[in-house]
Each structure stands twice: as structure tokens, then as C-alpha cells.
Amino acid sequence: MRRGRGQLSLSVVEAAVGVLLVVGVAAGFTVGVTPTPSAEPRLDALAHDTVTVLGSEPAAESDGARLVALARTQSSFEEVRGPTRDRIERLLPADTAFRVVTPHGAFGHPRPPGRVVGSATAPTRHGSVTVRVWYG
Amino acid sequence: MRGQTNLLSLAVALVLLTGATVLGVTFADAALAEADRDPGERHAARATADRLVAADAPTTVRANALDADAVGGLNATHLDDLSPPVAGADVRVAIDGDPVVVRGAPGGGTTVRRSVVVVSRSEETRRVDGLDNGSTIRVPRRVDRVTVDIDPGPNTTIRTVRANDRVVLHDDGGLDMSATTRLSRYEPTTLRVDAGANATGRVAVTYRPVTVEARTLTVTVDA
């Protein structure tokens, strides 16, 4: 133990090792715990429900299901867009917002960045339709 | 002197180590407390909701379309049969906030929400058509099955009934019967009875108009 040679006291070295050990164990507890379940599965379920209902409901404006009418042509998309938006507004809980993406365009609320979003996609003969749902 | 220096460094070391231990245990405890959730409860709620809206569930007409009559007759025993995870737990199933099934008092449980439509069939509608005029009967959309009663008069043979030009009933020997036939839900249907120009008799078409309402199904489970 000669001062001026920049040597640490042995006790401090032992303490540093001990601190590392303790912090390591504690970090293992903190990291090893499973993360809190996110809202994503619930939002996915809501999006899935929306797609299912749209796919099994007749569109009042044209033949076939709403989902198919959304994807069929540009003109049929324009035609069923408004009624479908109203239908989804009624279908989803009041605290959620949604956006629907089709081959001919999208409608619904603009999607805020950095939110947890649930989505569901349904294939049709004319292309796939995606519904995204988030807590608005 | 050296002993005192060592004593001082030992004190510093003990303070550091104790501080680190306290901090570490605090963090670990917080993490564990956060992890002390009830995954069984969440699983039960999700499973029950899934099974209530499944396409082959006894409560649905098709996927996500609840049958109003079946839901009205639902009770806690049915719920346990449908979804064993909720057996013995406090559970509440509600549609738009109106309780359908309640067992116990699920206060701070886990709630799962699903979007559904509730399908209710109203009273039967019967439409009778004489065969002496053009025998077409229009059925509105959303009706998926009709019962056709054919009662031909004397000297009349009815061989074919078409729905939107699709043959749904045919008998070369002549139809004189009552039959249920399935129609497309997606478009209005025109039923046409092929009969001669001076045919007599009656055709009655019976169906139940359907109303569909969007609702939110909530399942709360408190294990």
C-alpha cells in the first residue's frame, strides 16, 4: 500500500466487485421478468372482428359483401366507402379509431405515429383489404 | 495511520455495497410486483370471448354474428361448458353494457371487448301468390332461407322453381309440396315459378326478415 502509486485500497476493490455482483443479480430479476402484455392482441381481435363482419355483410349499394365491394373497382370503392365508414364507426368501441386500406385507396382516421396498432388483413379476389385499429 | 486509512476505505466500501444492494433489491422487487399478474384470468376472458363469437359456437349464426335468441338463453352453466377456463370464476358477459350472464361480482377483473353484430329474426312474413298472374315473388336481401309451399290447382303441373334464375326445386312429375330452400344473403332474390299461361293454384313463400345491429361484447373475468 504505497501512496502515490495510484493503487486503490483493497477494500474498495472488493466493494466494487460486490456492487457489480449485486447489481448483476438485480438486473437479472428486472430483465428476466416477462414484459407487461401490450394492448396489441386486443386491438388485433377488434380489427379481426371488423374484417369478419365486413366480409359477411351485404353492401346495400352493390351485390356481394362490403369487403369485396371495397376491393372490386375504383367506382365501387367510392360508392361503398361512406356507408362502410359509418358501419365501422358503429361496430367498434367508442374509444378506438381505425383506418382501412384497400387497393383503390384508404379511408378512416389518419394514423398517429408511435401508437400500438392492431391490424387484420382479408384477401379478396381483387386484392387484400387491411383494417388497422388503435386507441384514439 | 495506515489502519485508519484502511478503516475509512472499508467504511466507504460498505456504504457503496449497501447502497447498491438496496437499489438492486428495490428494482427487483418492483419488477416482481409488476409481474405478479393473473395470466389465467386474462386467458379465461380471451378464451371465453373467442368461443362466444366463433363461427361454430352455439351462440352464433356465423362468425361474429350473435344469434339474439341463443344469447338470450345463455346462462353460467352454458358458459362453463363453452369455455372451461371460467369455471368457478366470477364472470360477466355484457352486450353494449347490458349484462347477459352474471355470476358473482367480477369487480376488478380482466375485461376483453369484441365487436359483434346481433342478428335477430323478426316474425314470419308470408306472401301468397296466385298462379294466374306472373308468378314472381321478391324476397329482400339478408334473408338466407325461405319455405315455399306449392299447391297447384287441377290440370296444372309445376315443375320448376327458380331463385334468381338458379333452379332450387325441380320435379318432372310435378311439385306439390312444401320445401325450405337456401338463398344468398347478399342480394335480393326473385323467386319464379314456371307455370303455363292458364295455370291455377297458389304459391306461398314464408321467411323471417333479419335485422342486424352492431354491438360490443364485453367479457369480464375475476378469478
Contacts of B18 (CB under 8 A, 6+ apart): none
User: In the predicted model, what is the mean pLDDT of chain A?
Assistant: 86
Of these ranges, B27-41, B52-66, B120-134, the one predicted with the greatest mean pLDDT is B52-66
- Confidence (pLDDT) at B137: 85
Rounded Cα–Cα distance for residues B188 and A1 (Å): 99
* Distance of residue B152 Cα from the nearest chain A Cα, in angstroms: 33
Residues of B in contact with A19 (CB under 8 A): 16-17, 20
* pLDDT for the residue A75: 92
How large is the average pLDDT for residues A42-65? 87
* Percent of chain B scoring above 70 in pLDDT: 96
pLDDT of residue B123: 76
Q: Please tell me the least confidently modeled range out of A38-47, B19-28, B112-121, B193-202.
A: B193-202
Beta carbons within 8 Å of A29's beta carbon, 6+ residues apart: B27, B28, B31, B32
Is residue B161 predicted with pLDDT exceeding 60? yes
- Report the predicted TM-score, pTM, of the whole model to 2 decimal places: 0.74
Question: Touching check for A64 and chain B: CB below 8 Å?
Answer: yes
Decide if A25 and B24 are in contact by the 8 Å CB cutoff.
yes
Give me the pLDDT at residue B47, please.
92
- Where on the phi/psi map is residue B151: left (φ > 0), alpha (ψ -120 to 50), or beta? beta
Q: Tell how strand B125-130 and strand B201-207 pair up.
A: antiparallel
- Substitution target from B15, B18, B64, B221 for chain A, most A beta carbons within 10 A: B64
B34 closest CB neighbour out of A18, A33, A64: A33
Cell for A79?
Answer: 360508392
pLDDT at residue A40 greater than cutoff 60: yes
Predicted confidence (pLDDT) at residue B195 exceeds the cutoff of 80: no
d(CA B58, CA B100): 15
Between A45 and A41, residue with greater pLDDT: A45
A97, three cell numbers? 379509431
Cα separation, B205 vs A84, whole angstroms = 32
Average pLDDT over chain B reads 85
Convert B195-205 to b/e letters by CB count within 10 Å (16 or more is b).
Answer: beeebebebeb
Provide the pLDDT confidence category of residue B91 given band limits of 50, 70 and 90.
very high
| Total residues belonging to chain B | 223
Q: How far apart are CA A110 and CA A97, in angstroms?
A: 9
Query: Which pLDDT band, with edges at 50, 70 and 90, does A3 fall under?
Result: low
> What is the CA A83 to chain-centroid distance, rounded?
25
Question: Does residue B70 carry a pLDDT above 60?
Answer: yes
Q: How far apart are CA B130 and CA A82, in angstroms?
A: 41
CA distance B176 to chain A (A): 33
DSSP H or E stretch at residue B184 = none
- Residue B160 confidence (pLDDT) above 90: no
| % of residues, chain A, pLDDT over 70 | 90
pLDDT of res. B25: 85
Q: What is the pLDDT of residue A123?
A: 94
Say whether residue A50 is in contact with chain B using an 8 A CB cutoff.
yes
Chain B CB within 8 Å of residue A39 CB: no
How far apart, in whole angstroms, are the C-alpha atoms of residue A9 and residue B57? 73
Q: Is any Cβ of chain B less than 8 angstroms from the Cβ of A17? A: no
Nearest residue to B190 (alpha-carbon basis) of B125, B135, B130: B135
**With an 8 Å Cβ cutoff, are B24 and A53 in contact?**
no
Contacts of B35 in chain A (CB under 8 A): 33-34
Distance CA B124, CA B208 (A): 5
pLDDT digits (tens, 9 = 90+) for B118-127: 999 887 777 7
Contact A11/B142, CB-based, under 8 Å? Answer: no
Q: Give the C-alpha separation, B125 to B72, whole Å.
A: 23
Mind telling me how many Å the CA of A112 is from chain B's nearest CA? 22
The residue type of B216 is T
A111–chain B Cβ distance below 8 A for any pair: no
**Which residues of chain A lie closer than 8 angstroms to B23, CB-CB?**
23, 26
Q: What is the pLDDT of residue B2?
A: 60
B170: number of Cβ within 10 Å: 12
B48 near B83, Cβ under 8 Å?
yes
Q: What is the largest CA-CA distance in chain B?
A: 132
Over residues B180-191, the mean pLDDT reads: 87
Q: What are phi and psi of B215, to 5 degrees?
A: -140, 170
pLDDT over threshold 90, residue B130: no
Q: Which of A17, A38, A54, A57 to mutate to test binding with chain B, by most B CBs within 10 Å of its CB?
A: A57
What DSSP state is assigned to residue B35? Answer: H
Q: What is the pLDDT of residue A131?
A: 95
> Among all residues of chain B, which has the CA nearest to that of A67?
B186
